C-alpha cells in the first residue's frame, strides 16, 4: 500500500524503479512531490541519486532492449494518466522475463504505452507547423500549450530551422522554456514569462500575416470541420492568424 513521491524528473523516476526492484514491491502510486492526494499512510520519499538512475537506465537498455528504453523515456514525457505506475509495471515485467515489443497492441499493457507514445509524437509533428514566433527586439519568442512535454522532441527542428537566430519557446503547460542563444541550447524552469508589448514593426507583420491568411481562403470552400481536423482548435490561442 506504499506510495512513492519523487521530484518529477526522469532520474527521480528511475530511482523509484530502483527502490521497487530492490524492495520487490509495486507501490500503489508514484507521484511528484506536492501532489495533493489523500493517503491513509505517509508516502515514501524517493531521493534522486544519479548512480541509481544510471544503473536502472543501463539495465533497461541491456536487460530488456534499447527499444524499451526509448519507449520508456518517450512515454515519461507524455500526458498519460499515472504514467509512472504504468511504466514501472512494464519495466518490472521486462526485468523478470523480457517484453516483446513486437506484440504491439495485442498486449493491453503495452498498447497503453504505445498509444501514449503515438499521441505525443503526433502532437510534436503538429506543433512543428503550428508554432508562431514574434519578434521582440531581434529575439524570436513563441508560447505553446501542449498536452505532452514536447520541447525535447521539437527543439532540434527549430534549432536547425533558425540556426542563426536567437529564440525561445515557452511551454506554458509545463512551465519550461527552451532557449537558443548564440547557437547554444538550454532549458530553464519558468512559472511565467511576461513578454513586452509588440513593436510597431511586429504589429505590422502580424497584420500582414492575418490579411494573407484571409486572402488565400476560398469562401465557397470553407469547411470548419475539416479545418479543425487538420488544425485542432486547442492550438488556435497561440496562432497569429486565429487571434
Per-residue pLDDT for 38 more than 70?
no
pLDDT 10s digits, 177-205: 999 998 899 999 999 999 888 888 889 99
- Measured in degrees and rounded to the nearest 5, phi and psi for residue 139 equal -115, 135
C-alpha cell at 89: 509495471
What secondary structure does DSSP assign to 67-91, as a single string? HHHHHHHHHTTS--TTHHHHHHHHH
pLDDT 10s digits, 40-75: 678 899 999 999 999 999 999 999 999 999 999 999
Q: What is the band of 216 on the pLDDT scale with cuts at 50, 70, 90?
A: confident
**Strand 176-181 relative to strand 184-189: parallel, antiparallel, unpaired?**
antiparallel
C-alpha cell at 14: 528511475
Q: What is the band of 104 on the pLDDT scale with cuts at 50, 70, 90?
A: low
* Mean pLDDT, range 15-38, rounded to an integer: 87
Find out whether 239 and 130 touch, Cβ atoms under 8 Å: yes
Can you tell me the distance from the alpha carbon of 61 to that of 56, in angstroms, rounded to the nearest whole number? 9
Find out whether 147 and 83 touch, Cβ atoms under 8 Å: no
* This prediction's pTM: 0.88
Mean pLDDT of the chain: 90
pLDDT 10s digits, 116-139: 999 999 999 999 999 999 999 888
Amino acid at each position: 500500500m506504499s506510495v512513492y513521491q519523487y521530484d518529477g524528473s526522469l532520474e527521480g523516476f528511475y530511482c523509484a524503479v530502483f527502490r521497487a526492484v530492490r524492495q520487490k514491491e509495486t507501490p500503489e502510486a508514484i507521484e511528484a512531490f506536492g501532489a495533493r492526494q489523500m493517503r491513509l499512510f505517509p508516502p515514501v520519499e524517493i531521493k534522486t541519486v544519479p548512480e541509481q538512475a544510471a544503473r536502472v537506465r543501463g539495465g533497461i537498455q541491456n536487460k530488456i532492449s534499447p527499444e524499451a528504453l526509448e519507449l520508456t523515456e518517450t512515454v515519461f514525457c507524455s500526458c498519460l494518466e499515472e504514467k509512472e505506475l504504468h511504466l514501472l509495471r512494464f519495466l518490472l515485467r521486462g526485468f523478470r522475463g523480457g517484453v516483446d515489443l513486437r506484440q504491439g497492441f495485442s498486449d493491453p499493457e503495452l498498447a497503453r504505452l504505445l498509444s501514449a507514445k503515438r499521441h505525443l509524437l503526433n502532437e510534436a509533428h503538429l506543433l512543428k507547423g503550428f508554432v508562431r514566433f514574434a519578434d521582440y527586439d531581434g529575439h524570436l519568442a513563441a508560447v505553446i500549450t501542449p498536452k505532452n512535454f514536447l520541447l525535447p522532441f521539437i527543439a532540434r527542428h527549430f534549432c536547425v530551422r533558425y540556426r542563426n537566430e536567437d529564440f525561445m519557446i515557452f511551454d506554458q503547460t509545463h512551465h519550461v522554456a527552451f532557449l537558443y542563444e548564440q547557437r547554444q541550447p538550454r532549458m530553464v524552469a519558468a512559472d511565467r514569462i511576461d513578454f513586452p508589448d509588440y513593436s510597431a514593426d511586429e504589429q505590422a507583420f502580424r497584420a500582414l500575416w492575418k490579411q494573407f491568411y484571409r486572402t488565400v481562403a476560398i469562401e465557397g470552400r470553407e469547411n470548419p470541420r475539416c479545418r479543425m481536423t487538420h488544425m485542432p482548435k486547442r492550438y488556435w490561442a497561440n496562432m497569429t492568424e486565429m487571434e
